Amino acid sequence: MEYTAVKNVIKYTYKANALFALVRRTRYIKRWSLMFNVSEENVGEHSHEVAIFAHGIAVIGMNNFGRAYNPERIGMIAVYHELSESVLGDQPTTLKHATEETTAFFKGIEGEVEKDIVDTLPSSIRNHMASLTLSSQFLEHEKDIVKAADLLSMLLKCDHELSLGNREFSSARDKVWRKFQHYIEVYPEVKEFYEIHMTQHQQTIDGLVNL
């Protein structure tokens, strides 16, 4: 389903060259707004983590499974994957996915916001940045690797909250895990990254570094 009237909904515009300043502001956007959080997370932190994971998965895919990936490109796509949230905030799933119509509507809004932000850039760099920020320019495997990394970040967030005794995230973890399993089954590089490199994610610094 597509929502075609988005352009008529968005009434605001942007200052010239706003993209990088807006990305920086993602540190102020809180995630998991409907949940009680012991350890709060912001969009900037999340995007940074997703970029690390996506890059790592792509490196494994390229070197261990012969994938024709560009890990650095995939990592940078992940850096900008929440660009629209710098303006729209992190909208709750209960709102975005309430109906098929709301899902299509919000996807349309997000896409239009991202395009408008990219359009603030000088023409000399606009196309290059569009290739890293607009999903219409991504290959399918790039979308999948970033999505897998996004879900993994969410999974580890749930694990962290649960380790702190916050049962608020029990159901959320189950839902995220079911989605993440799809990518483990389809992409062996996702499975390897998770099973080898994420097994110690709850360790303390003393557990990770031999002093």
pLDDT digits (tens, 9 = 90+) for 6-62: 555 678 889 999 999 999 999 999 999 999 999 999 999 999 999 999 999 999 999
For residues 20 and 9, give the distance between their C-alpha atoms in angstroms, rounded to a whole number. 24
What is the overall mean pLDDT for the chain? 93
Asked whether residue 4 is domain-assigned, the answer is: no
Phi (first) and psi of residue 42, to 5 degrees: -115, 170
CATH number of the domain enclosing 133: 1.10.3210.10
Q: How many residues does the chain have?
A: 211
For 181, half-sphere exposure in the C-beta direction (CA atoms, 13 angstrom radius) is: 6
* pLDDT (average), residues 133-141: 97
Sorting pLDDT into bands at 50, 70 and 90, what band is 1? Answer: very low
User: How many distinct structural domains can be found in the chain?
Assistant: 1
CA 62, 146, 80, 176 dihedral sign is: negative
Contacts of 150 (CB under 8 A, 6+ apart): 50, 78, 81
Query: What pTM, to 2 d.p., does this model score?
Result: 0.92
Asked whether residue 9 is domain-assigned, the answer is: no
Asked whether residue 1 is domain-assigned, the answer is: no
Asked whether residue 5 is domain-assigned, the answer is: no
3 or 162: which carries more pLDDT confidence?
Answer: 162
Helices (H), 65-167: 71-79, 85-88, 93-96, 100-118, 123-133, 140-163
Asked whether residue 8 is domain-assigned, the answer is: no
Q: Is the pLDDT of residue 4 over 60?
A: no
Asked whether residue 159 is domain-assigned, the answer is: yes
Q: Is the pLDDT of residue 95 over 70?
A: yes
| Domain membership of residue 162 as a residue range | 14-208
Please state, in angstroms and as integers, the Cα–Cα distance from residue 115 to each residue in 13, 62, 130, 202, following that order. Answer: 11, 30, 8, 38
